[in-house]
Amino acid sequence: MEFNRRNFIRSASVLAALSLSEIQSLSARQMIKTDGKTVAEDDEAYWQNVRQMFPLTKDWTYLNNGTFGPSPYPVIEAVKNSMLDADQLGNYGSYEATMPKIAKFVGANDDEIALTHNVTEGINIACWGVPLKKGDEVIVTTHEHVGNAAPWMNRMKVHGIVLKKYTPASTAAETLNRIAALINKNTRAIATPHIPCTQGQVLPIKDICKLAKDKGLFALVDGAHGAGMMHLDLHDMGCDTYASCCHKWMLGPKGTGFLYVRKEFQDTLQAFYSGGGTADDKWDIMTNPVSIGGYAQSAHRYFGGTQANGLYAGVNASIDFIETIGLTNIHNRIKSLGKYTQNRLLEFGDKIELLTPTEDISRCAVNGFKIKDVDYKKFYDTCAENKIRIRMVPENGINCLRVSTHIYNNTGEVDKLIDLIKKSIS
């Protein structure tokens, strides 16, 4: 879906009176076209117009994009229209256009993208497909989401691999040193998040992948929070696999994701899940003996069968929406909101423990923190009672609170959270 982006919608009152289809039609005519120009990160009039493109209720303050990002109206409309097209006309397929669109968005080739339902599915494909044997060591973090922890722990149980852990440091350089210190003759892979879900630290992922390559290790990345938050060039990053989703920072439909598998790595990463599209056209169950043929000469070997045409039309629309505004503009805006959140939290002095580094290269849109002498679960409940949606982080015993902001947020919403913290510690 392409937009005329020259004159973005100026009036929320106009939007309130329109149907979804009317909003889509109006937005297609009136959305600002940036032409590569930078939109000021504090141009509140512009970003308020962007906010009007989301159906978020005004009754709640949503500071939990790290769980999932609400989709804007053009994405919702694209899903609806594509589903109607299939159900009214019996059209099949149409997801094929999504793989090259994602590939271009993340700096990959068309044949390196497999469609998945979420990050966890992509991580499982990578985890179980990489060649490992009993005693082989895989480096992970102490800040894992269950989606990157459980697959590797399960493989540890089934195949006897060994997991070695590092804790991200307050600087990128020290984080890299901690990983390097764990590497020995038994190490086979580094399976690390790009941005841990716990406190949103941006890890030095390109340096980590280079370290892996220099040591002859596999580099397998949990990229749940990368796509849509920042520019990605997966070829330049140097990873072997990168699992991500379209329903967080890309603002796409829930239950959509992708797995990047470097082309040269595809014959190393074994495919286990097979079906329509995963094999080449030489398979033949009627021969004696049966002929399996070969795998698809692309990352399509890792997924098969009928795909949700409506959802992937929504993914296409979400990428169009992001590119309409400009990913650089989005990154600058959400990084600015992340820094604003940090600065407000730091005003509390030793009453707040900020877990996310303040180092510029190690932070973006997510912040984790603890409130001294205040139970994190109790404060989470307090937020819910006051219609502020954040996330509590019980993972790995970290027991903190997490705030994640996107382009539909503003500093006033962060201030509401800060006011609630003041009341809780007074």
pLDDT in tens, 328-341: 999 999 999 999 99
| Mean pLDDT across 250-279 | 95
Residues 112 and 211 both lie in one domain: yes
> What was the pLDDT predicted at 3?
39
Q: What is the pLDDT of residue 35?
A: 58
For residue range 95-112, list pLDDT tens digits in order.
889 999 999 999 999 999
Q: Is the pLDDT of residue 31 over 70?
A: no
Q: What is the DSSP string of 152-210?
A: HHHHHHHH--EEEEE---SSHHHHHHHHHHH--TTEEEEEEESS-TTT-----HHHHHH
Give the end of a domain, one of 319, 345, 376: 319
Would the pLDDT of 13 be above 90?
no
Given a cut of 70, whether residue 211 has pLDDT beyond it is: yes
On whether both 136 and 227 belong to a single domain, the answer is yes
Q: Is 188 inside a domain boundary?
A: yes
Same-domain check for residues 341 and 393: yes
Q: Looking at residue 27, what is its pLDDT?
A: 47
Q: Can you tell me the distance from the alpha carbon of 107 to that of 223, in angstroms, rounded to the nearest whole number?
A: 14
Residue 302 lies in a domain: yes
Instruction: Find the domain containing 311 and state its range.
Output: 95-319
Residue 120 to residue 127: CA distance in whole angstroms:
10
Continuous segment of H or E residues that includes residue 235: helix 234-237
Mean pLDDT of all residues in the chain? 91
* CATH code of residue 412: 3.90.1150.10
pLDDT of residue 293: 78
216 and 111 in a common domain: yes
- Is the Cα dihedral 275, 269, 203, 100 positive or negative? negative
Whole-number pLDDT of residue 21:
46
Q: Are strands 187-193 and 137-141 parallel, antiparallel or unpaired?
A: parallel
Lowest-confidence pick of 74-78, 129-133, 292-296 = 292-296
Q: Are residues 104 and 251 in the same domain?
A: yes
| pLDDT band (50, 70, 90) for residue 136 | very high
CATH number of domain containing 235: 3.40.640.10
What pLDDT does 141 receive?
Answer: 98
- Residue 290 pLDDT > 50, yes or no? yes
Helix (H), strand (E) at residue 234 = helix 234-237
Query: Is residue 269 located within the same domain as residue 343?
Result: no
| Listed ranges 32-41, 145-154, 272-281; the one with the highest mean pLDDT | 145-154
25 lies in a domain?
A: no
Please tell me the total count of domains within the chain. 2
414 and 279 belong to one structural domain: no
Q: Do 222 and 336 reside in the same domain of the chain?
A: no
Give the residue with greater pLDDT, 287 vs 236: 236
The answer for residues whose C-beta is within 8 angstroms of residue 284's C-beta and 6 or more apart is: 290, 291, 293
pLDDT of residue 36: 61
Q: Examine residue 72 and state whether it is found in any structural domain, yes or no.
A: no
Cα(224)–Cα(104) distance, rounded to whole angstroms?
A: 18
C-alpha 253/C-alpha 261 separation (Å) is 22
> Regarding beta strands 257-261 and 352-354, do their DSSP bridges make them parallel or antiparallel, or are they unpaired?
unpaired
Mean pLDDT value across residues 400-416: 98
Query: Considering the domain boundaries, does residue 68 fall inside one?
Result: no
Residue of 335, 339, 346, 333 lying closest to 418 (CA atoms): 346
187-193/388-389 β-pairing: unpaired
Strand pairing of 241-245 and 218-222?
Answer: parallel
The pLDDT value recorded for residue 34 is 60
Gap between the Cα atoms of 304 and 272, Å rounded? 11
Contact 45, 1 (CB under 8 A): no
pLDDT for the residue 275: 87
Give the number of other CB atoms < 10 A from CB of residue 349. Answer: 7
| The predicted structure's pLDDT at residue 355 | 98
Residue with tokens 């709640």, as numbered in its chain: 60
Q: What is the mean pLDDT of residues 81-85?
A: 93
Residues 195 and 129 in one domain: yes
Is the confidence at residue 422, as pLDDT, over 90?
A: yes
Residues 253 and 343 grouped into a single domain:
no
Residue where a domain terminates, one of 264, 292, 319: 319
**Residue 321: its pLDDT value, please?**
95
- Residue 229 resides in a domain: yes
Whether residues 308 and 335 share a domain: the answer is: no
Q: Which domain-ending residue is among 274, 299, 319?
A: 319
> How far apart (Å, rounded) are the C-alpha atoms in residues 192 and 173?
16
pLDDT on residue 33: 55
DSSP 336-363: HHHHHHHHHHHTTGGGEEE-S--SGGG-
**How many other CB atoms are there within 10 angstroms of residue 283's CB atom?**
15
Residue 271 backbone dihedrals phi, psi, to 5 degrees: -90, 130
Query: Percentage of the chain with pLDDT > 90?
Result: 81
pLDDT for 369? 98
Residue 281 pLDDT: 74
Note whether residue 70 is domain-resident: no
276 and 385 fall within a common domain: no
Does residue 41 lie within any of the structural domains? no
